[in-house]
Structure 1
Amino acid sequence: MTIGFMNRRQLLGGLAAGAGLTLLGSANRPALAAGKELVWATWDSNGHPEYVAPFEAKTGAKVKLSYLSSEDAQFAALKTGSASDWDIVNPSLNGAWRYIKGGVLKPLDLSKLPGTAAMYDIFKATDKVKDEKGTTYAIPYLWGLNPIVYRADKYDAEPTYSTLFDPKYKGQLAMRDYALESIAIAALHLGIPREKAFTLSTAELAECKKVLVAQKPLLRTYWQTIGDLTNLFATGEVTAAFSWRVPYDALKDKMKVAMAKPKAGIMGWCDCFGIPASLADDKLELAYKFGDYLLGAEYAAAIAEIGNYATSSSVVRDKLSKEKQEAIFIDNLDVMKTFMWPVAPPNYSEWLKLWNEVKAA
């Protein structure tokens, strides 16, 4: 493991150096953060220890990783105050409005986030992270697509969303425990156009509930962490799931896995950096430094080469191979326009109620 990490570090160091940065230079480590700790609430695919090691080395701070189970649980924890130890949070781009309206995020001082200058225009120009007065509360930092991951040796044809509702595969299927995407997938399965998948009427929601309740006995699980789902693929318990790309990358050299991109609509996602409204003032400077780190070359290089994800910044794009650019969808930036970007609707409380009823059925 140590040798592998050193090889990756050398590779990432070359990429970061190409962007004018040093990966692990601790000789000039500033003293301001010595002994301090930041707790980052994020997904397990976004926050690996090696992804944050350069920041820790440069600042002397410790980044404690607190992995999320769902976006809804993150918002609820912030709203109720039960996550008072979180210093940095991870709202989605299309769900940021809930956090802003809920008053759980601090407004951001963009002058303390110089890395925003290198962001792709689609993320730099978005109003989804602003309130009605134009104040910014979150910064997009990471994006990609969510495919259907499947065992290519178990399926004669590339799965569609309807495959996830097919009794033929009972016990082999998995869905994410997340109301927004799962209900939208049910809508697409029913033939509701992608343009309406996140703006469902009460009647359409009722139809989605019917098929989701019928689907439940077919599922091996509703997965919450991508590590758990990857293990289920590895043990053969799951052969197809609405997923992140992590199981594919982890298992492609060990078994015949593939990623399906349904024609009904590919789900895009974008994660944001945010600071809880409750964060103490003495941690603000360090929190801003970490937010800017997520937009910088070191994090971008690490998560591209190890995690196969792209950040919202162009800072290392030209340093990556053409193959890597293609793998993380930045070879042709027009792809961003083709995704379905999940949007939590104004009646999202109805969606949450429906989802809880499905799981309790």
Structure 2
Amino acid sequence: MRRHRGYINLGLGACVAVASAAMATDAPSVHVYNWYDYIGPTTLHDFKRDSGIEPVYDTFDSAEVLEGKLLTSRSGYDVVVASNYSLPTLIQAGALAPLPRDRLPGWKNLDDGLLGKLADNDPGNRYAVPYLWGTNGIGYNIDKVRAALGDNAPVDSWDLVFKEENLARLGECGVAMLDSPSEMLPVALHYLGLPPNSTDAEDYRKAEALLLKLRPHIAYFNSSKFISDLSNGNICVAVGWSGAMLEAKTNAEQAGNGVKIAYSLPKEGAPVWFDTLVLLKDAPHPAQGLAFIDYLLRPEVIAPVTEHLSYPNGNRAATALLNAATRDNLAVYPPASAMATLFTLEPLPKATERVRTRVWSKVKNGQ
């Protein structure tokens, strides 16, 4: 899953310096590959200080880039941040090394409930450690949605965006959705009472019919533009990632523009995703890779990452270290009742992926 953020992490400049230093010395090093702007501003510096290991840090901006690098050649990386959606493909390809838990003392800090959901993509939790996670739901402009649909607007339900009479009214103030068939079509299937990871072509025809009916009321499909548009009041509803909606909310508050944003996790259930830490099978520095993973399992290390990025972590012991505003924010840490409704996404057979791609093309083009 792509996690867009609208500003540059100042820590990335330090990362380049750290990487250069590692190349210029014989110090032990660990090579890390992570999403762009997806770590705390001092995490890498602190790891070097505390361990004596130089982190050589590179970034990517799409899961396709990551999978292409890992599946076609020796990447030279030790630790990679991979989405749960990519795990089955990487495991089947033999790209990942099983994690020896006796080398990861911090494993005991992980949340058992989250590990259970992650096991859908990593059976037995053999290969992946939860890093950050989140949900896909609805971000909305409180005042504009109320003006369009009244005080009883179904903001806690997918009915808000999948019932045509609602979307027609909201379309007047602007609705955006992720440009991602692997994330949007499962939600449409789930709304129709069908398996979100269906391999039945007939199910996708039903999802196509639903979305084509709604298409005239959707302003655009884009996986980054909605953040600024929501915070600026240019649109009133977006379907996207929890952390992105919290970013839009924060941006609006800092701008003082009067735009009030909220995030809703629909009561019918929604996708939950994990970005995980994995050790590559051909890692050139496996011991240092395990040391880096275990460092991020320390509560005092991962808590500031959550504070910085507004995405929850999988570390149960870190929760008490968070600010109350983060810890008690149900958009960041959903209650147990909501967690029980969440589902993970899975890679599909190539034939189904082709069906899904064709459906999405039709939906985006409106025909």
Instruction: Give the TM-score category using the shorter length.
Output: 0.7 to 0.9
Cα deviations across residues 11-39 of structure 1 (Å, max 9, x unaligned)? Answer: xxxxxxxxxxxxxxxxxxxxx98484633
The Cα shift of 1:359 comes to 3.0
1:115 aligns with 106
What SS does the corresponding residue of 1:155 show, helix, strand or coil? helix
Distance in 2 of aligned mates of 1:198 and 1:80: 26
Is contact 2:271–2:345 with CA below 8 Å preserved after alignment? no
1:223 aligns with 222
Cα deviations across residues 179-220 of structure 1 (Å, max 9, x unaligned)? Answer: 33211122244x325xx2333522111111233345555444
Distance in 2 of aligned mates of 1:336 and 1:61: 40
The Cα shift of 1:268 comes to 2.0
2:70 aligns with 78
2:143 aligns with 153
Is contact 2:119–2:125 with CA below 8 Å preserved after alignment? no
Distance in 1 of aligned mates of 2:346 and 2:207: 16
The Cα shift of 1:75 comes to 3.0
What SS does the corresponding residue of 2:82 show, helix, strand or coil? coil
Of 216, 235, 240, the residue aligned with 1:238 is 235
2:260 aligns with 256
AA partner of residue 133 (structure 2): W
Cα deviations across residues 61-80 of structure 1 (Å, max 9, x unaligned)? Answer: 245351433x4553344323
The Cα shift of 1:124 comes to 4.7
Where do residues 55-94 of structure 1 align in structure 2 (5 Å cutoff)?
55-58=47-50, 59=52, 61-69=54-62, 71=63, 74-81=66-73, 84=75, 86-93=77-84
Could you say what the CA RMSD is over the residues aligned between the two structures, in angstroms? 3.6
AA partner of residue 345 (structure 2): V
- Number of positions where the alignment pairs a residue of Structure 1 with one of Structure 2: 321
2:343 aligns with 341
TM-score (norm 2): 0.72
The Cα shift of 1:273 comes to 0.9
Structure 2 residue 31 is the aligned partner of structure 1 residue 38: yes
2:18 aligns with none
AA partner of residue 281 (structure 2): A
The Cα shift of 1:90 comes to 2.6
1:192 aligns with 193
Identity %: 20
The Cα shift of 1:43 comes to 5.9
2:14 aligns with none
What SS does the corresponding residue of 2:279 show, helix, strand or coil? coil
The Cα shift of 1:115 comes to 1.1
5+ residue gaps, structure 2, are: 1-8, 10-24, 147-152
AA partner of residue 192 (structure 1): G
Structure 2 residue 83 is the aligned partner of structure 1 residue 54: no
What SS does the corresponding residue of 2:145 show, helix, strand or coil? coil
